A and B are shown apart, each in its own frame.
Chain A
Amino acid sequence: MFTVLSRIVHLGFKNFWRNILVSTATVAVLTLSLFVFAGLVFANVVTQNLINYVKDKIDISVYFKINSPEDEILNIRQSLEKLPEVKSVEYISADQALEIFKASHANDPSINQSISELGTNPLEASLNVKAKDPSKYVTIAGYLDSQNLSQYIDNVSYSKNQTVIDRLASLISNVNRGGIILTIILALIAGLVMFNTIWLAIYSNRDEIGIMRVVGASNFFIRGPYIVQGIIGGALASVLSLIFLLILFLTAPLVYKNYGYFDISIPNFSLTSYFYLHLGQIFLYQLILGVLVAAVSSFVAVRRYLRN
């Protein structure tokens, strides 16, 4: 068994080298396909981060009447936090609101002056509510309406911004869905291209497979070297694809002097640092994908010529 296995591996390497033209073409296509896969992953990462960023910007504020007791507000906060749709609730007391207001108008003496002349705090306490999903704000606003809280609540910002929030919510879910569909389609195309390339390479070997059968080679012995060839091709392609990605990420900042052109500006996110941070993982996925698709394609493609 060991002799057979070592012969299969040896033949696989030898055939890969002897058919260097076909091997090169196959590796080139595999590399491109893996490159496309990596591109899809990056596109998804960017989209997800962009979506999360936009999602995070959306919230609704519940403003309470000036004299509402803090206990009641905190009770409402607690009940809101228990809702499954709610991600977080932030309480801003009237005093905090005043601080924030003052800080943001620190350079405007007339406003500061008029506030101090007023003597009392004109600002209302509020709860900032963030939903897990933008489409859930309707439910949350509905909940606040249904609880008979009108004696405390002055207004809920949702009713003012409803159109914008709803539009953003549907945009986000469309981008999400469209992204997934596009990714699946492109991944399928790349997979098919890989499969087809290997299929063609083996098709050009069909006579040889027939000869091997007649000489008395078992299916295992015929198929083995082709699978080894596929594994070599897939592994090489994943290394090459990673090298191309590295070159891309290393040279892009030089080409675009202004870094921002390449690195899409989402606060707290940089594709370049994402790439370097996940370098090992990206390589591993590419390696597994390349080797698996190539080996399985070889297995299936040879099968067709092992019939008699």
Chain B
Amino acid sequence: MIVFQNISKIYNGGSVALEDINFKVNPREFISIVGRSGAGKSTIIRLLIGEEKPSKGRIFFREYEVNKLSNSQLPAFRRHIGIVFQEFRLLPTKNAYENVAFALEVAGRPQKEIDELVPQVLDMVGLGDKMKNFPNELSGGEKQRVAIARAMVHRPELIIADEPTGNLDPFNTREIVNLLLKINELGTTLILATHDKEIINMLGKRVLTIDKGRVIRDEEKGKYILI
């Protein structure tokens, strides 16, 4: 479903962020991308959602060749993906319900569907009683659950979570990881970028290890090992 083909990313200053990255992700897979801070995890994700263009190589997602998408083609492409960020990135002037509904509104879904789906999904992430709360009235864990609800409400084929637990305590971390596992079990492909050893060892899923911009290990049922 996703193919990274000979991907390199060199920034203008000449610093190499990624070098000759090759991997594939199959539908319904749960893959973790691990590595130290600055190893290149976030760059892979930014390339995958078209926020940046690779210096070399090609990226495929379904029928899209991501590196060739123009600015105006990106919105429609991104509606196939749900994204969860470390810093949540919720819209501060919208409440939990509106933040989740926004992902459906941008796709032009009918109001009836929005009224039905949003409460369901917020219930699923355990925030049925906080729909009217604004982000500044929610805890870190709650914010991240709103973000996950927003990422999954339009039933994307792929959810990308970039360090989703980086700002959370161990209890909330476990909750979020369980939520991601549940979403994956329901049939959504999941890419998780993290440097949290505990999570990786708990998951027992495929692990792609990145170091200094290169893939140094790609294992089914991997562990977090960095030399």
Contacts and interface: CB of A to CB of B under 8 A. Distances in A.
Contacts of B74: 213
B107 A211 contact: no
Interface residues of A, number: 22
B92 A215 contact: no
A17 B26 CA distance: 46
B79 interface: yes
Contact of A208 (B52, B77, B93): B93
B75 interface: yes
A212 B105 contact: no
A270 interface: no
Interface in B97-133: 102-103, 105-108, 110-111
B108 A4 contact: yes
Contact of B78 (A3, A15, A214, A221): A214
B78 A211 contact: no
Interface string A192-221: 000000000000000110111111111101
A214 B83 contact: yes
A7 interface: yes
B90 interface: yes
A306 B91 CA distance: 16
A216 B107 contact: yes
Contacts of A3: 108, 110-111
Given A19-B93, A211-B91, A218-B76, A7 B83 contact: no
A308 interface: yes
Given A4-B108, A221-B106, A216 B91 contact: no
Q: Which among A18, A19, A215, A221 has the highest number of chain B CB atoms within 10 Å?
A: A215
A308 to B, nearest CB: 5
B72 interface: yes
B51 interface: yes
Interface in A261-308: 306-308
Contacts of A215: 78, 83, 102-103, 106, 150
Contacts of B111: 3
Interface in A198-257: 207-208, 210-219, 221
Interface of A: 3-4, 7, 15, 18-19, 207-208, 210-219, 221, 306-308
Q: Closest 7 CB pairs between A and B?
A: A216-B78, A216-B79, A217-B106, A218-B75, A18-B93, A211-B89, A216-B75
13 contacts: A7-B105, A18-B93, A208-B92, A211-B90, A212-B91, A215-B83, A215-B106, A216-B78, A216-B107, A217-B102, A217-B106, A307-B71, A308-B51
